[in-house]
Copies of this chain bind each other. A is one copy, B any other.
Amino acid sequence: MKEYFKNNEWLIIEDGFDPDYNRVAESAMSLGNGHMGMRGNFEEAYSGDSLRGTYYAGIYYPDKTKVGWWKNGYPEWFAKVLNGINVIGIDVIIDGLELDLAKCEVTDFKRVLNMQHGYLERSFVATDKNNHKTQITSKRFLSMADSELGAIAYSVTPLNYTSTIKLTPYLDGKVVNEDSNYDEFFWEEVEKKVDDNSCFLTMRTKKLGFQLTCAMTYDVLSNGEKVACHDAQKIAKDNYVGYTVEKVVEKNEQLTLMKYFSSVSNRDYDNNHLGMKATEAVNRAHRSGYDVLLDAHIAAWEEKWQKNDITITGDTEAQQGIRFNIFHLNQTYTGEDQRLNIGPKGFTGEKYGGSTYWDTEAYCVPFYLSTASSDIARNLLVYRYNHLEKAKENAAKLGLKGALYPMVTMNGEECHNEWEITFEEIHRNGAIAYAIYNYINYTGDKGYLAEYGTDVLVEISRFWADRVNYNPRKDKYMILGVTGPNEYDNNVNNNWYTNTIASWTLEYTIEALSYLKEEHQTIYKETIQRLGVQDHEITKWKDIIKKMYYPYIEDEGVFAQQDGYMDKEQILVKELDQANLPLNQKWSWDRILRSCFIKQADVLQGIYFFNERYDLDTIKRNFDFYEPRTVHESSLSPCIYGIIASQLGYEDKAHEMYLRTSRLDLDNYNNDTEDGLHITSMAGTWMSVVHGFGGLKVIDNKLHLAPFLPKVWQEYSFRVVFRDCLIKVIVGKQITIYLEDGELLPITVYNQDYELKKDQPITI
């Protein structure tokens, strides 16, 4: 699959059509604008293999849980990202024959995703059974400037004939989720209307009553000139509205359909107003016209790139890879809506369901902190605050105090149903506390503790304090029966990372309470009272901090991933016959579990989070021990190892890890891009450049950098937002740092302090 797409700095190019890779290309070429998104499907009918998918942020379906053997505590349902109304569809009938790329000869096929300007183009020549050759081009986008809108310019040009061509732009609500557990159709039709000027369709989800209304209108152009279509046929069928326009088209005449569409839902408007709102929106689009809409869209993208582009000179593949990651992150989440989060597949597929994993806190928050206004990361934190009550219910369901945030969620309730993950991968709770620390450390917004943070910290701490058990035989607190970040070990005792982040949460919560007590006395009193925090709780927390047990491998001088890790047969990945890799496809689950091989950063995740606690020798010993045992079969692994490798000066290893993460989906590295893209790990890719190669850290309210240039690159640059400043860092033979926004920023580079001033770049 490697090199299926052409290398280009800004474009993802599919040159020639290969039906076997269609789903992969559909995933890679997905469009999204935070409000909605869709895979890179064809507008016209296609009877070949395809996952037609259109997804609307925040609209989901609680699908009945499917398990082999029920365990007490499992959730009743699994929230699925809902495949909704297809807005891009345009059926094309040429001289009575439906255009279908599976049923004609296709030449000069190109599908191109323009990442700079955020649109998808396609062009090809189809030769049908009648030997009619037809040139097709299409270009579509979902507006970044007005997220309810999108538009398509779809052109048909007869190359060797003159004939009647029928175009049917439509909205289709009869859409099913491919990953439905019991083949249920999740929607029902509520309303539809087909007027002379526009039409709309309202569908409602069966259980939760989400209502989604899409509207559309269109223009027809001949050789670029608008033509009247008074005889358009209106179509209204079950779950479907549209129009058919018909025209005799001369040889070489270009017939263009401009399709404008909009989507609104009862997440934002009253049910009664949806038809009106969608129609207003589509009229807004139509009034503006395609070109004006597109210009505004491009401008919005340029503004985004201005903040978070990373350039790499001398390696087009690497350049394309990093932009692909940043592009899709920007498409998935724009941060305006506190109710939303970053799904593992974004708007690019259905797999995994849910919208929120600990990936958000561990990987995405750092990206948004550095590349966008701090509101956006803050919204991600508030999202969890808003789910606090559900997290308390979740803990209670397991018989525990405090709050346990779910492994996977849409509305705060747990969706996951595998006991070793659902009940045991509880380190996720620590990541949610850590994100609060991380946000405040980066932004300096300590006020967040007073407003939202402390409630979440206290309840998570209560969970940990109940979940540990005191072992009188060893005078230690332990955490038994957990799954750490390395999911290739399940139900272990005393996962070092979990014990570490649990104890750290207690420390940080005590610190947060102290801060409130000193700086916000009224809020402090109110908080203590509201949460009912008792002195004996704090005493217990302090005792746990003091007596937490951390497994250690004495003779290696490294933290033990968990109790008994060294009882496993110790083999290094390089000693394995490579035919065994990837383990998750070649080995039975049982064999994976018994082995010493590690799926993703586990001890190293802790060393990344709590980096300042450990001296370089300790970090080195742990890296040297664990990295050779890690197979990086989670998309979230290489970035963390890459960052630590950078810190240790293992430049080649850091670059190797970067390559593993940045082109994961473009090169279909894990052979699963067809299901959708690995959205959250894309933030990890960004981190591997900025935190890794760039050495970015924030210590004591100050930005630290320690950049190096991977050997194979000539130069790279990145921008980061920090405390109302925007800086640009160029790393080449020398390092140049610009302050692009803001007046003055103290900064530390290679442990030396500088004052960065506007128009006075530092060169090192």
Contacts and interface: CB of A to CB of B under 8 A. Distances in A.
A563 B474 CA distance: 15
A399 B564 contact: no
Given A491-B491, A563-B564, A567-B493, A69 B418 contact: yes
A584 B417 CA distance: 17
Contact of A480 (B73, B419, B567): B567
Contacts of A399: 587-588, 591
A66 interface: yes
A8 to B, nearest CB: 37
Interface in A462-493: 469-471, 473-474, 478, 480-481, 490-491, 493
Contacts of A420: 420, 491
A67 B66 CA distance: 6
Contacts of A116: none
Interface string A380-409: 000000000000000001111000000000
A532 interface: no
Q: Is the interface of A mostly helix, strand, loop or mixed?
A: loop
**Among A72, A397, A423, which residue has the most Cβ atoms of chain B within 10 A?**
A72
Interface string A56-82: 000000000111110111100000000
B67 A589 contact: no
A299 interface: no
B473 A566 contact: yes
Contacts of A480: 564, 567-568, 594
A564 B566 contact: no
Given A471-B567, A480-B567, A491-B491, A73 B418 contact: no
Nearest to A583: B72
A68 B68 contact: yes
A569 to B, nearest CB: 5
Interface in A561-586: 563-564, 566-569, 584-585
B491 A593 contact: yes
A490 B593 CA distance: 12
Nearest to A592: B72
A402 to B, nearest CB: 15
A679 to B, nearest CB: 20
B590 A417 contact: no
A260 to B, nearest CB: 42
A399 B417 CA distance: 27
Contacts of A584: 72
A481 B417 CA distance: 21
24 contacts: A65-B68, A66-B66, A67-B68, A72-B585, A72-B589, A73-B589, A73-B590, A398-B591, A399-B587, A399-B588, A399-B591, A419-B590, A420-B420, A423-B590, A424-B590, A471-B567, A473-B566, A480-B568, A480-B594, A481-B594, A490-B491, A491-B593, A563-B563, A564-B564
The 4 closest A-B pairs by CB, nearest first: A423-B590, A73-B588, A71-B589, A67-B68
Given A72-B592, A419-B589, A419-B590, 13 more contacts: A65-B68, A68-B68, A68-B418, A72-B584, A419-B593, A420-B420, A423-B588, A423-B590, A423-B593, A474-B567, A478-B567, A481-B590, A491-B491
